[in-house]
Amino acid sequence: MMLKGKTALVTGSTSGIGLAIARSLAAEGCDLILNGFGDAAEIEALVAEIARTCGVAVVYDGADMSKPDQIEALFANAAPKGVDILVNNAGIQHVDKIEDFPVAQWDRIIAINLSSAFHTSRLALPGMKARGWGRILNIASAHGLVASAEKSAYVAAKHGIVGLTKVAALETAESGVTCNAICPGWVRTPLVERQIEAKAKEGGIDIEEASRDLLAEKQPTLRFTTPEQLGGVAVFLCSPAADNITGISLPVDGAWTAR
């Protein structure tokens, strides 16, 4: 119960990595503000289930992370006293060559995967600094460190969030607040499942063969990182052992970026 009495906002926590990180923080006694899209009844059930199983307070705010005014409203309504832990996780993907990339998709990816983290950080930091403790975890990607073709907006946004992480670390260096980026390789969530399905369709192969090809291309361990492992990494970065770890971009990528 290392995080008892703390409150975390995890953006995009109705699915995948964000949900697993939220569960791991709650298992350590942390109160939660969940966020993200999804079926209202399913989200209500999720809120009740985490609150019951972990004995923590859980609220949900459906702010669209591409909209700065909705992010401001989330802080005003769900976190009037601020948050102790901010996990900037909400993210989307679109795959196309630069010359074919829909302009609206570029704008949306930059807004959700990058600018939202600026807005949540600017709103969370005053309270964290005043309390002398805070954790910002930016869920970047191996694509924050290296590129792949046909992912221009995603790679630009993820490199951007790695830069934002470093600036936030410098600006908070003496304050008790740390800011780090986590850079996962392939994690089998709905975001990646769609890419596996596209690969299967393109190659006329089945889903499992497509998932093996996807790993073989980038991730030398040939194993997916699990959302639960990322939850464990997030808890570690919130622990006293990580008090002096700030400004880093931590690959959890099965050696993707080692070569």
Q: Which residues bind ligand NAD (CB under 6 A)?
A: 11-18, 35-38, 64-66, 89-92, 112-113, 139, 141, 184, 186-187, 189-192
- Cβ(12)–Cβ(36) under 8 Å? yes
* CA geometry: angle 115, 119, 122, nearest 5 deg: 135
Which one of 60, 106, 154, 256 is the catalytic residue?
Answer: 154
154 is catalytic: yes
Select 58 or 65, whichever has its Cβ closest to ligand NAD: 65
CB of 138 to ligand NAD, least distance (A): 9
Q: Which is nearer to ligand NAD, 175 or 257 (CB)?
A: 257
56 vs 109 by CB, closer to ligand NAD: 109
Task: Point out which residues pair with 10 in neighbouring strands.
Answer: 34, 87
- What count of other Cβ atoms lies within 10 Å of the Cβ of residue 226? 16
What is the token pair recorded at 44?
């209500």
Nearer to ligand NAD, 41 or 241 (CB): 41
Burial 6-33 (b: 16+ CB within 10 A, else e): bbbbbbbbbbbbbbbbbbbbbbbebbbb
Say if CB 46 and CB 22 are below 8 A apart.
no
Three-class DSSP category at 174: coil
Query: Nearest distance from residue 17's CB to ligand NAD, in Å?
Result: 4
**What number of CA atoms fall less than 13 Å from residue 89's CA on the CB side?**
30
The CB-of-108 to ligand NAD minimum distance in angstroms stands at 8
239 within 8 A of 2, measured Cβ to Cβ: yes
State the Cα–Cα distance between residues 82 and 86, nearest whole angstrom.
10
What is the identity of the amino acid at 138? Answer: N
Q: Could you tell me the smallest distance in angstroms from the CB atom of residue 47 to ligand NAD?
A: 13
Which is closer to ligand NAD, CB of 95 or CB of 133? 95
We find the least distance from the C-beta atom of residue 183 to ligand NAD, in angstroms, to be: 7
Active centre residues (catalytic): 154
